[in-house]
Structure 1
Amino acid sequence: MEQNDLPYGVLVDFYEKIEATTSRLAMTDYLVALFKKTPTNVLDKVIYLTQGQLRPDYEGVELGVAEKLTLRAISKASGVSLKSVEELYKKTGDPGLVAEELLSKPRQSAGLLGYIGEETGKRELMVSHVYNSLMKIALASGEGSQDTKINTLASLLSDASPKEAKYIVRTVTGKLRLGIADMTILDALAVAFTGTKSARDVLERAYTRRPDLGFIARTLAEKGLEAVRSIRIEVGVPILPMLAERLGDPGEILEKLGGSCLAEFKYDGERVQAHRKGDKVWLFSRRLENITSHYPDVVNFMLTLKADEFIVEGEIVAYNPDTGDMLPFQELMHRRRKYDVKKAMEEYPVRVYLFDIVYLNGEELIEKPLPERRKILESITPPRDENILLSQAKLVDNVKDLMLFFEEAISEGCEGVMCKSTGNQSIYQMGARGWLWIKFKRDYRMEMTDTVDLVVVGAFHGRGKRAGTYGALLMAAYDPNSDTFKTVCKVGSGFTDEDLANLPKLLEPYKIPHRHPRVVSKLEADVWFVPAVVLEIIGAEITLSPLHTCALGKIEPDSGLAVRFPRFTGRYRFDKKPEQATTESELIEMYKSQRKTVVQA
């Protein structure tokens, strides 16, 4: 092994072990062994590749290569006709397996490199070479970029063993399918470089400020834990957003928040984290994607704030320019396009409602209580500006006022209200879901009238009219305490014919041959997926169920919680990571609120 690099074959060997395990502990152990074996100067590259990416999400370096281009590169590297490559792909459905099979045979003609036979003795493929080649593919643009991508990938595949080729192709097509959670990587880093998981808290704190696992790993390996502890918020690098719990009983909400709260309209838009440094503005989504190019008007709005350097949070909301009425989230999603952005701006104008500030002119504000942060935010927001406004909010200390404000929010086209703690402890908890913020979206009286966001973890083959697609999806809630996904329901209703036709293609990149280690299920699905796709689900009510694992044993022995008569609302939550889905504790609270109402009735 070269001292400053890692053979890509070593990385692939670990991928095979991780892909084969159903144990999260084993997955972590494999990662610990991998990180210990990896030279420091390529540790960040190894971590990015293991995540199926080249840089952190917020940098927007997209690796995804179209399947047609990938198949052409496989054809060029293997010397097999494109038609034969395409036919094999139709049989397997996995371009990685296509590359592995075709490159395991003696090459007839490699196109790029001439004849390659078994006797040529190829050089050992190193991680740095793979990474740099993939970065060249990702950054290729403009005239001739397709040829650059094909030739670079074909050259890389020609140097690769069949097994290495399989994982290279899966990486470039976004189908690596390892599904390793960020928190699992932090656990493994803690053990690999400090000998104990107890250092995980320091790493996680740094990760909330700079969600870049490659950067944190290199810092830890090169400079030690104290250097990681000193990582600070930086303008232009998104922080992990604070999250909220959910309750449907206004009395219980006020009790949780100490008797009073700041009630805030919960707008039906896209949450945005806006950064500004001088004339430069960055916009990041809840998933930390860079969405600056989608909203040039919002960039201009941010330049009107009375500060040169800040990080603020708000909600981008589409509105009807003729009536001023707010439009639903689905209308706003028309702005998420690469082309005709100017036309989309005209058709779907937006406003921004600011609700928090976490950084101002070199100072972190996350430890300041909410009322103080709100005053600072107000001081930099221009008055009487119709494009950028403070969120509508009101201090309340009784159920009647909270309900009146809730009804006002609903009548204005909002989803409900956010109820936020105003005490000395009301800090900004980056990346945390706690009882400082509570969503009050709907009252759960008599039936489940609010939606939940659940993660697709499995599927069941369709029959009859649904033959050839999926008849139902196995849906799960997220449990942050165990970092797992626990099943809640099988959903087969609410899908249009178009949805049903597209589901196999949508879910194909996440298909794996066994239950994922982070999925807890009593049911045996026909098909399993890496937890990745979030769907909005509505149902009749939340009930006890011996079949599902969400809240198993937490309310009744041997029973979990299930959504009864679940139905897909038609809303794909591509704006949410799976870890931002509805949590197990939220469903427990919804169930308790339901039961309490039934007893009172």
Structure 2
Amino acid sequence: MLLAEVVAASAAVAATRSRTAKAGLIGELLRRAEPGEVGAVTAWLAGEPRQGRLGVGWRSLTARAHTSAAAPGLTAAAVDAALTELAGTSGAGSAARREAAVGALMSAATADEQHFLVRLLTGELRQGALEGVVLDAIASAAEVPATAVRRAFMLSGRLPETAVTALEGGVAALEAVRLEVGRPVRPMLASPGSSLDAALTDLGGEVTVEFKLDGARIQVHKDGDVVRVWTRTLREVTDGVPELAERVRALPCATAVLDGETLALDDDGRPRAFQDTMSRFGSDAADAGVLLSPFFFDLLHLDGRDLLDEPLETRLDALAGLLAGEEQAALRMPGVRSPSTEQAAQVLDDALSGGHEGVVVKALDAPYAAGRRGKAWQKVKPVHTLDLVVLGAEWGYGRRSGKLSNIHLGARDPDGGDPVMVGKTFKGMTDELLEWQTATFPGLVRESHEWGVLLRPELVVEIALDGAQRSSRYPGGVALRFARVLRYRPDKGAADADDIEAVRALLAGG
């Protein structure tokens, strides 16, 4: 398959807003790909190289784009091989070898292919093919049920491998993918709930109501004395959190996969600032001054038994048995199972008085649906909050002169398009945050204007708001009311942001 075919398909996908059409275009491309090309092509259509970030900058790429091939000749396999070579180039003289490799690749590409490669390698290839669209495309190309593809992806965690499995082995190969202790599973996510009463009514009486901590999501795997820890984005952080590994290593089991949250507590047992918790995930060495405490709310595997497909009630019973000792009980997420309305309200009050965000209401009959933000788990907070993408920023006035201040906010498009702008805000920003924005945003600029900058949609910020209102000013038809910045979320990417439907759900009467 020629790279030009991939470039043409990428352009066609970007040109349509129809989710079905996007999946059809990608599926057709995957059907034409050679077996050794499927993984790479899948990764590219999802917006990134199969090898991950390669550390090649925009300037380095565009400097070698002055000369281009007259006609398409590069194959997908050749490009993938060049990227693999680039990823493995290190050591003495590696800078020169990397420059030469980039130069050879770019000079062999046509102008259109060069433009595609620049966007692919700098993380700016946004053609509206989110994971869900690509998963549907894989199912179509392989002529297998979408449910089988989604489950295999949940357990393997990577789109390219899932595509190869589906197209080479079909349903049997997909169903053979199992949970492996030591390989992270994509986490199950919670949807925003409008209120505690609404969540209880929606899910019925057979629920558990648990604290929603102001911490970081973790998934911990235990295999004998080997313990590994991943974040919600499946980034391994084991070396930086030895105290978490030590607590899990002491559990009375041979193998386990636990899901939970961790946060830093002060001497009174109250949560420290979110930034204190996240600081432990930003460096290679543990900060002895900030110790993390784990709180587990789910158990996906225990001593050879996979629990993913079991109802939550069964998983909670297994978790309670594992954490039955006095010392282990402190590792349980606080909550009440099958509460009365009064008991549920008390859990929420206890969480808030303890300095936490709110509660999560979970249906006891629900299996673990990893990677999906369904209605089986609903998070309830007293103040509406949304995780939104920063699309741009305006230069400030007065005491904020010279600072990038008023930020433009976008909600994720569930159909895979660009984020949908829903408002602006400069409220809630400390002087320290303004300094950080002004220093950080230039590295993400895609357009500069006299009034400010437009940014690549990579940063996620948590916004508190009083609700939403209908608006003809923004393309989504909805605008935020009294939005203010709570904090940036370095633990989340643009794909983890709340979508436009979550914003519309906050409309009065909606």
Deviation at 1:373, TM superposition (A): 1.1
3-state SS of paired residue (1:99): coil
Summarize the Cα distance change of 1:326–1:178 in structure 2 as closer, same or farther, 3 Å threshold: same
Distance change >3 Å, CA 382–CA 351, structure 1 → 2:
farther
More deviation, 374-383/488-497? 488-497
SS of structure 1 residue aligned to 2:300: strand
1:563 aligned to 461, 480, 484, which one? 480
Whether 2:178 is the aligned partner of 1:232: answer yes
Q: Kindly tell me: are residues 421 and 50 of structure 1, through their superposed partners in 2, closer, same or farther at Cα, counting changes over 3 Å?
A: closer
Q: What is the match of residue 404 of structure 1?
A: 346
Q: Distance in 2 between matches of 1:387 and 1:326?
A: 19
2: distance between equivalents of 1:136 and 1:306?
45
Q: 1:385 to 1:13 in 2, by over 3 A?
A: same
Query: Distance between the aligned counterparts of 1:16 and 1:585, measured in 2?
Result: 26
Shift of residue 270 of structure 1? 0.6
1:65 aligns with 2:65: no
Partner of 1:146: 95
User: 1:475 corresponds to which residue?
Assistant: 409
Instruction: Name 1:77's counterpart in structure 2.
Output: none
**C-alpha distance in 2, partners of 1:459/1:587?**
19
AA partner of residue 383 (structure 1): G
Q: Does the CA-based 8 Å contact 1:260-1:398 persist in structure 2?
A: no
Q: Is the 8 A contact 1:178 1:530 kept in 2?
A: no
Q: CA deviation at 1:534?
A: 2.0
Are residues 1:437 and 2:377 paired? yes
Indicate the residue corresponding to 1:326 in structure 2.
Answer: 271
Worse-matched range after superposition: 395-404 or 180-189: 395-404
Measure the CA separation in 2 of the matches of 1:138 and 1:271.
Answer: 29
In structure 2, the CA distance between the partners of 1:528 and 1:222, relative to structure 1 (3 Å rule), is farther
Equivalent-residue separation in structure 2 for 1:395 and 1:372 (angstroms): 12
Q: For structure 2, which runs of at least 5 residues remain unmatched after alignment?
A: none
Instruction: State the Cα distance separating 1:35 from its structure 2 match.
Output: 1.6
Alignment partner of 1:544 is 2:467 = no
Q: 1:137 aligns with which of 57, 80, 86?
A: 86
1:157/1:578 CA distance change after superposition, 3 Å: closer
**What are the superposed Cα offsets for residues 239-297 of structure 1, whole Å, 9 maximum, x if unpaired?**
22222233343333322232353221211111111123334333222222223333233
Task: Give matches, 1:63-462, under 5 Å.
Answer: 63-65=53-55, 67=57, 71=59, 74=60, 95-96=61-62, 98-100=63-65, 102-104=66-68, 124-194=73-143, 199-259=145-205, 261-320=207-266, 322-339=267-284, 341-342=285-286, 344=287, 346-381=288-323, 383-385=325-327, 389-395=331-337, 397-422=339-364, 425-442=365-382, 449-456=383-390, 458-459=391-392
Identity of aligned residues (%): 27
Q: CA deviation at 1:182?
A: 1.2
Preserved contact between residue 39 and residue 161 of structure 2 (Cα < 8 Å): yes
Separation in structure 1 between the aligned mates of residue 492 and residue 160 of structure 2, nearest angstrom: 22
Per-residue CA shift, 1:67-126, capped at 9, x if unaligned? 3xx74xx5xxxxxxxxxxxxxxxxxxxx44x432x224xxxxxxxxxxxxx9xx999433
Of 27, 32, 35, the residue aligned with 1:37 is 32
Deviation at 1:44, TM superposition (A): 0.6
Could you say if the C-alpha distance between residues 143 and 537 of structure 1 is closer, same or farther in structure 2, counting changes exceeding 3 Å? same
For residue 103 of structure 1, what is the amino acid of its counterpart?
T
Letter of the structure 1 residue corresponding to residue 182 of structure 2: G
The runs of 5 or more residues in structure 1 that have no matched partner are: 1-5, 56-60, 75-94, 105-117, 443-448, 514-524, 551-559, 597-601
* 3-state SS of paired residue (2:485): strand
Task: State whether residues 37 and 77 of structure 2, in contact with CA within 8 Å, keep that contact through their aligned partners in structure 1.
Answer: yes
| Partner of residue 83, structure 1 | none
Instruction: Tell whether the 8 Å contact from 2:124 to 2:456 is kept in structure 1 after alignment.
Output: no
Kept in 2, the 8 Å contact 1:327–1:413? The answer is no
| Equivalent position amino acid for 1:564 in 2 | R
Structure 2: which amino acid aligns with 1:505?
Answer: P
Q: Superposition pairs for residues 38-57 of structure 1, below 5 Å?
A: 38-55=33-50
Residue deviations 1:416-439 (CA, integer Å, cap 9, x gap): 1222223xx232222233333221
Q: CA 1:33–1:426 in structure 2 vs 1: closer, same or farther (change >3 Å)?
A: closer
Note if contact 2:265-2:292 (Cα within 8 Å) is conserved in structure 1: yes
Give yes or no for contact 2:467–2:506 (8 Å, CA) kept in 1.
Answer: no
330 and 365 in structure 1: CA distance in 2 versus 1, 3 angstrom threshold = same
Q: AA paired with 2:496? A: Q
Distance (Å, rounded) in 2 between the aligned partners of 1:512 and 1:230:
47
Cα distance change of structure 1 residues 188 and 376 upon mapping to structure 2, 3 Å threshold: same
For residues 548 and 534 of structure 1, the distance between their equivalents in structure 2, rounded to whole angstroms, comes to 19
Q: 1:263 to 1:385 in 2, by over 3 A?
A: same
Q: Secondary structure at the match of 1:275?
A: strand
Change (3 A) 1:394 1:190: closer
d(CA) in 2 for partners of 1:434, 1:162: 43
Question: What is the identity, as a one-letter code, of the residue corresponding to 2:127?
Answer: L
Deviates more, 1:123-132 or 1:311-320: 123-132
Counterpart CA distance in 1 for 2:283 and 2:96 is 22
What is the rounded CA distance, in whole Å, between the counterparts of 2:195 and 2:12 in structure 1? 47
Please give the TM-score of this superposition, normalised by the length of structure 1: 0.73
Give the 3 Å change call, closer, same or farther, for CA 476–282 of structure 1 in structure 2.
same
Partner of residue 505, structure 1:
442
| 2:387 alignment partner AA | D
Query: Is the 1:266–1:416 contact (alpha carbons within 8 Å) kept by the matching residues of 2?
Result: yes
Question: How many Å apart are 1:354 and its aligned residue?
Answer: 0.8
- Which of structures 1 and 2 has the bigger CA Rg? 1
Q: 1:467 offset after TM fit, Å?
A: 9.3
Asked whether the 8 Å contact 1:369–1:426 carries over to 2, the reply is yes
1:489 aligned residue (423, 430, 435): 423
